[in-house]
Amino acid sequence: MWLKSRLNFGHKPNSPFARQIRRDSWWVVFWLVLFVVSLSYLSPRLITERLDNLIYDFQQRLQPVSAVPTDPPIVLISIDNHSLKTLGHWPWRRAVYAQLLEQLEEAKVVGLDLLFSNANPAYPDDDRLLAQAMTDHGRVVLPIYINEHDEIEEPVPALRDSASGLGFINIQPDADGVVRRIQLQRTAQQQQLHHFSTAMLSAAKQPRRPQLSGLPFDQPQLARFNGPLGSFPNYPFVHVLNGDIPPETFKDKYVLIGAWSSGLGDFYPTPFSTSENTSMSGVEILANMVHNQLYDQWIHTVPDWLKALANTLPVLFIFLALRQLSPRIAFFCTLVVVVTVFLGSWLLLHVFYYWIPIGSALVGSIIAYPLWYWRSQETVLRYIDKQLSDLRRHNPGLSQALDVYDVQLTLPARLNHLYRAIEFLREAEQRREETLRFLSHDMRAPQNSILALVAMQRQQANPDDPQSTDPFLHKLEQYACNTLDLVDDFLDLARVESSAFELRPLVINDLLSQALDDVWPLATNKHIQLNYDEPDHSIWILGHQSFLQRALTNLLDNAIKYSSEYTSIFCSIAITKEEVVLRIQDQGWGIPKEELASIFSAFKRLHTDVTDNPKGTGLGLAFVHTVVQRHRGRIEVKSTIGKGTVFLLSFPLRPVSH
């Protein structure tokens, strides 16, 4: 226990070490939260956007199987390599598409993902044939394209007028080239244009879902893809044209016709892209957009402040765990938080259709553990250095035992020095115990022998003759008694400093009453009145009975010794909100103001210049001060020369029911 107090490694909540740890922890929390919030707000311009996109793509690929319709109402008719080989040179005559529409009479709507912006002079009647076929069908949608100059490229007038709807087919990939978003509405040449998928739903007279009314159509929307490449039923163009596919196959279906052949048409990476299937054709991307429109599967985003809050909460939780748990448990807790953040993001994405980028939260959670223990280790290292410095300053022998010029700035080196210091102090502790045993036995035994010899010598003298008592024996007896008192006081102080004792519930009223009874004979001899304003109820504290009893007796004994005859001593007990305060006031000599700061030092004697100064060892108040500290209490002194001294002892209040 003494070794622990010298190293000052006790887990006191208000110790400098604990306060420094708390300050460091709050600073770490502040800067890391600021870092996470900044990442959340600035992620579109930082590298963390790539991390968010990777997480989003990965979670898109983890969508539950139940979310994918087994019989989607969308089918594709692809212009593939086989169709090109069969039908000949590209581009085909527009009369071919007119023939194809005859096979799609039962389709709910047909979307031709082909730009017919120029007339074919070789076959001038083909535009009329296709326009007539579109009119006869009544549910054909054609695309428009908005070029880089914000100009609209429309189909030729005959086809444009025959189409049931027009919609732009522009696709805008993210910065990494992956298509995740689509813009449902754009303005070009002062015209309000709708997306191709919206035009198909309008042509099919499909009512817009109420949820879609809240979407900002002029902003790109996160789209949920139905799956990887080939997730929709796909039929070769030539097979449908030749009637190999029954027309009933397309009944009430949303049919999209577009290029599927490599080198023909547009292809883009999507969240489902893999090393085998790196890109998805533009027509299949349009099919996914129609699917989103039909089932309202757009992924909603949250405001920036909510995104920052969601990314900050896991970091705060991790720091709470780091402050309360051991490093091993805190490490696993950090892993649990990271997994929970990922699973929570997946749940929001696939159940509630909300996407909160969690890259900032993952970065903050991952660096929280090493950052916290880095700062903790720095604090521990500084504290170890301070403790070693204090030990060397107060123990010259320790400075010689440790090579102070060979301390490296590493934790193992410092721990090695600390270990050597502990070994040195452990040896000093053993020598101290041996010294206490020596004082307790070997120093007391000779003094007791001296007192026994003095008693025997007095028995041999004539008891009727006062002159027969040798003054030398009286002095010898006095010095032996003083030596025994010094040994007893020193041993009591050493025990209360070093021993580990258990605090038990005690009634402080009874302790003070017993101490007053102990000093009553001494007070009576000096005609000093003892006044005790005893409370009318028992006041409980946690304490060590014998040590507290001795401390109170020491204070009362000093009050009597340093008071003149026919004075009074006043004792009382008061209760504050959290403490019990004992007050012991005398009308004695008082303590000089310059001496108040050192009265609790060992071997400190007061009034040494007074001829009738009471004898003592100078350890009584040091014992009292140590006892109060070991009981987590406080002691205050107020004194005025010639008027008296007041001691205030405060102890934590511990209500005990009996």
Statement: the pTM of the whole predicted model exceeds 0.75: no
Q: Phi, psi at residue 303, to the nearest 5°? A: -60, 160
Q: With bands split at pLDDT 50, 70 and 90, how would you rate the model's confidence at 8? A: very low
**What pLDDT is stored for residue 301 in this prediction?**
87
**What pLDDT is stored for residue 117 in this prediction?**
87
The mean per-residue pLDDT over the stretch 46-73 comes to 79
**What pLDDT is stored for residue 2 in this prediction?**
36
For residues 261 and 305, is the Cβ–Cβ distance under 8 A?
no
The mean per-residue pLDDT over the stretch 158-181 comes to 90
**What pLDDT is stored for residue 536 in this prediction?**
85
The mean per-residue pLDDT over the stretch 129-148 comes to 92
What is the C-alpha to C-alpha distance for residues 421 and 202, in angstroms, rounded to an integer? 85
Q: Phi, psi at residue 282, to the nearest 5°? A: -60, -35
Q: With bands split at pLDDT 50, 70 and 90, how would you rate the model's confidence at 500? A: low
pLDDT tops 80 at residue 92: yes
pLDDT tops 70 at residue 603: no
pLDDT tops 90 at residue 76: yes
pLDDT tops 90 at residue 139: yes
pLDDT tops 60 at residue 472: yes
What is the percent of the chain where pLDDT is above 70?
75
**What pLDDT is stored for residue 210 in this prediction?**
42
pLDDT tops 90 at residue 530: yes
pLDDT tops 50 at residue 264: yes
| Higher per-residue pLDDT: 351 or 471 | 351
Q: Which residues of 61-71 are buried (b: 16+ CB within 10 A; e: fewer)?
A: eebeeeeeeee
What's the chain's average pLDDT? Answer: 80
What is the C-alpha to C-alpha distance for residues 469 and 242, in angstroms, rounded to an integer? 146
**What pLDDT is stored for residue 480 in this prediction?**
66
* Close Cβ partners of 524 (under 8 Å, ≥ 6 residues apart): none
**What pLDDT is stored for residue 552 in this prediction?**
92
**What pLDDT is stored for residue 625 in this prediction?**
85
Q: Phi, psi at residue 118, to the nearest 5°? A: -125, 145
Task: Note the pLDDT tens digit of each residue in 349-389.
Answer: 988 889 999 888 888 888 888 888 887 777 777 777 777 77
For residues 196 and 288, is the Cβ–Cβ distance under 8 A?
no
Q: Which residues of 546-566 are buried (b: 16+ CB within 10 A; e: fewer)?
A: ebbbbbbbbbbbbbbbbbeee
Q: With bands split at pLDDT 50, 70 and 90, how would you rate the model's confidence at 10? A: very low
The mean per-residue pLDDT over the stretch 243-263 comes to 89
What is the C-alpha to C-alpha distance for residues 235 and 75, in angstroms, rounded to an integer? 8
pLDDT tops 70 at residue 4: no
DSSP symbol at 613: P
| Higher per-residue pLDDT: 408 or 338 | 338
For residues 493 and 524, is the Cβ–Cβ distance under 8 A?
no
What is the C-alpha to C-alpha distance for residues 26 and 320, in angstroms, rounded to an integer? 11
CA-to-CA separations, 385 to 14, 392, 412, in angstroms, rounded: 20, 10, 13
Longest dimension (CA), the chain: 160
For residues 160 and 144, is the Cβ–Cβ distance under 8 A?
no
Q: Which of 333, 329, 335, 354 is nearest to 344 (CA)?
A: 354
Task: Note the pLDDT tens digit of each residue in 581-599.
Answer: 999 999 988 888 877 777 7
C-beta atoms surrounding 190 within 10 Å = 5
Q: With bands split at pLDDT 50, 70 and 90, how would you rate the model's confidence at 1? A: very low
Cα atoms in the 13 Å half-sphere on the side-chain side of 656: 15
Q: Which two tokens stand for residue 126?
A: 């083909």
Is it true that the peptide bond before 91 is cis, omega within 30 degrees of 0?
yes
Q: Do strands 185-188 and 191-194 pair parallel, antiparallel, or not at all (unpaired)?
A: antiparallel
- Where is average pLDDT lowest: 190-199, 492-501, 503-512? 492-501
For residues 512 and 573, is the Cβ–Cβ distance under 8 A?
yes
**What pLDDT is stored for residue 386 in this prediction?**
76
Q: What is the CATH number of domain 502-652?
A: 3.30.565.10
pLDDT tops 80 at residue 9: no
Q: Residue type for 489, please?
A: D
**What pLDDT is stored for residue 217 in this prediction?**
57
What is the C-alpha to C-alpha distance for residues 12 and 19, in angstroms, rounded to an integer? 9
**What pLDDT is stored for residue 499 in this prediction?**
62
Q: With bands split at pLDDT 50, 70 and 90, how would you rate the model's confidence at 444? A: low
**What pLDDT is stored for residue 213 in this prediction?**
44
What is the C-alpha to C-alpha distance for residues 241 and 254, in angstroms, rounded to an integer? 17
pLDDT tops 90 at residue 91: no
Q: Where are the domains of the chain?
A: 2-46+302-394, 63-298, 411-493, 502-652
What is the C-alpha to C-alpha distance for residues 342 and 361, in angstroms, rounded to an integer? 10
- Where is average pLDDT lowest: 251-260, 362-371, 495-504? 495-504
- The secondary structure element, H or E, covering residue 194 is strand 191-194
The mean per-residue pLDDT over the stretch 382-402 comes to 67
For residues 512 and 532, is the Cβ–Cβ distance under 8 A?
yes
**What pLDDT is stored for residue 469 in this prediction?**
55
**What pLDDT is stored for residue 531 in this prediction?**
93
**What pLDDT is stored for residue 615 in this prediction?**
62
For residues 650 and 579, is the Cβ–Cβ distance under 8 A?
yes
Q: Is the Cα dihedral 518, 544, 590, 587 positive or negative?
A: negative
- The secondary structure element, H or E, covering residue 41 is helix 16-42
List the Cα angle 196/295/310 in 5-degree steps: 105
What is the percent of the chain where pLDDT is above 90?
26
* Close Cβ partners of 328 (under 8 Å, ≥ 6 residues apart): none
Q: At what angle do helices 304-324 and 16-42 cross, to 10 degrees?
A: 150
What is the C-alpha to C-alpha distance for residues 489 and 448, in angstroms, rounded to an integer? 16
What is the C-alpha to C-alpha distance for residues 224 and 381, in angstroms, rounded to an integer? 52
Q: With bands split at pLDDT 50, 70 and 90, how would you rate the model's confidence at 26? A: confident
The mean per-residue pLDDT over the stretch 305-332 comes to 86
